[in-house]
Structure 1
Amino acid sequence: MIQQIVDETNKYATKKQLEKPDDKWRNVTFSEIRAYLGFQIVMGIIAAHYFDMYWYSDPMFSPYGIKERMTRDRNDKISKYFHVADTSCSTARGQPGHDKLSHVRPILEAVRAKLMANYKPHRETTVDEAMIGYTGHLRFKQYMPLKPTKRRIKVWVRADPHNGYVTDIQVYLGKENRDGARVLGNEL
């Protein structure tokens, strides 16, 4: 999976270089993408007040090990060109068969496969909705004014009720995408 991200990121950056050259870009390596993904996880768990705090020289404010592995400028360049999937052949928005998750589908499917392969659930399972707070722009983001986090991505999860282990996930893409929808591991 990481090698695919390396290849897609470099391919996308090369395409963008033809449109507008960026002399500070150099192709990303496997170890850089691996570190970059790790940083994204750390940044999601340990939220800094300012993004630049992850690169402060004072260890009290930067205990994350990020600045030792990558500069802020390199992180910014990787973020600019980061790509997971080749979407150049994807169906256009508004057309039948358009996948709203095409940009992240390979990662989502890899996570689903690992969830299902690495755990044998008990006989009983439960399906519930989970909400992921998100303030960026998405067409399928839900707005719930009475909740503490008002803008969210709705995800249906199948979990083991004995320990809460999630065995499958499905991102809710809106009521207009019900035809041909997948029901947590089973095709309709």
Structure 2
Amino acid sequence: MTNKEANRVLGSGDIISLENLRAFYGLRLLAGVYKSHGEHLRNLWDDTYGRPIFRTTMSLETTMKYSRFIIFDGKETRARRRSTDKLAPLRDIWNIWVKRLPLMYNISSTVTVDEQLVPFRGKYPFRQYMPSKPDRYGIKIWAACDAENSYLWIAEVYTGRKDEFAKHQQGKRIVLATHKRA
């Protein structure tokens, strides 16, 4: 879908190979490892203060071009899918990731279920406002984690309360329902 979007905007053929796409995502993950949240993208490529791995893997211009075209679903069917699923633009990639989580780790007997507010101020129909959290705006995720090692085992994005869910033990029900689907 990323190449399709680039073709739509630029009017040219495929521009991103699978190898380059993996390099792009690797750099994005590495930026997180370096705790670069809030750091300007240009600083990561800076000759003096940046990190050499960014400059040697991909140019800043290429990275910015790829960022412009990355999408995870088809725009043609998004409106129809979004009418029943608020997470429609990311649902496919989210489900792939969540299904792999339990396969990568043998969870201990100490599991905790809780909510996490991932800071986010963009435009999403399920963005939450929680005044008691340090970052008051964000995306709420219900998660089951291994309490000993903090491993995320099961996760579900909270897109709004369904009528059939009461307020009590909502996180537990959402996480168990997600686990049964996986």
TM-score, with length taken from structure 1:
0.77
Among 148, 162, 166, the residue aligned to 2:148: 162
Q: In structure 2, what is the Cα distance between the partners aligned to 1:26 and 1:76?
A: 17
Give the aligned partner of residue 11 of structure 1: 4
Q: Which has the higher helix share?
A: 2
Give the aligned partner of residue 125 of structure 2: 139
The answer (yes or no) to whether the contact 1:42–1:64 under 8 Å persists in 2 is no
Are 2:62 and 1:85 equivalent residues in the alignment? no
Are 2:21 and 1:50 equivalent residues in the alignment? no
Structure 1 counterpart of 2:5, one-letter code: Y
Q: Which aligned runs of 4 or more in structure 1 are off by greater than 4 angstroms?
A: 176-179
Q: RMSD of the TM alignment (CA)?
A: 2.6
Are 2:91 and 1:105 equivalent residues in the alignment? yes
Structure 1 residues 178, 112: closer, same or farther in 2, change over 3 A? farther
Number of aligned positions between the proteins: 170
Q: In structure 2, what is the Cα distance between the partners aligned to 1:111 and 1:91?
A: 23
Q: In structure 1, what is the Cα distance between the partners aligned to 2:47 and 2:163?
A: 48
Among 45, 49, 53, the residue aligned to 1:65: 53
Mark the runs of 5 or more structure 1 residues left unpaired by the alignment. 1-7
Structure 1 residues 166, 115: closer, same or farther in 2, change over 3 A? same
Q: How far is 1:72 from its partner? A: 1.6
Q: In structure 2, what is the Cα distance between the partners aligned to 1:136 and 1:91?
A: 18
Q: How far is 1:122 from its partner? A: 3.2
Q: In structure 2, what is the Cα distance between the partners aligned to 1:111 and 1:177?
A: 27
TM-score, with length taken from structure 2:
0.79
Give the aligned partner of residue 125 of structure 1: 111
Structure 1 residues 42, 145: closer, same or farther in 2, change over 3 A? same
Mark the runs of 5 or more structure 2 residues left unpaired by the alignment. 166-173
Among 145, 148, 151, the residue aligned to 2:134: 148
Give percent identity, aligned residues only. Answer: 24
1:27-49 C-alpha deviation (Å, 9 max, x unpaired): 11112111111121223322464
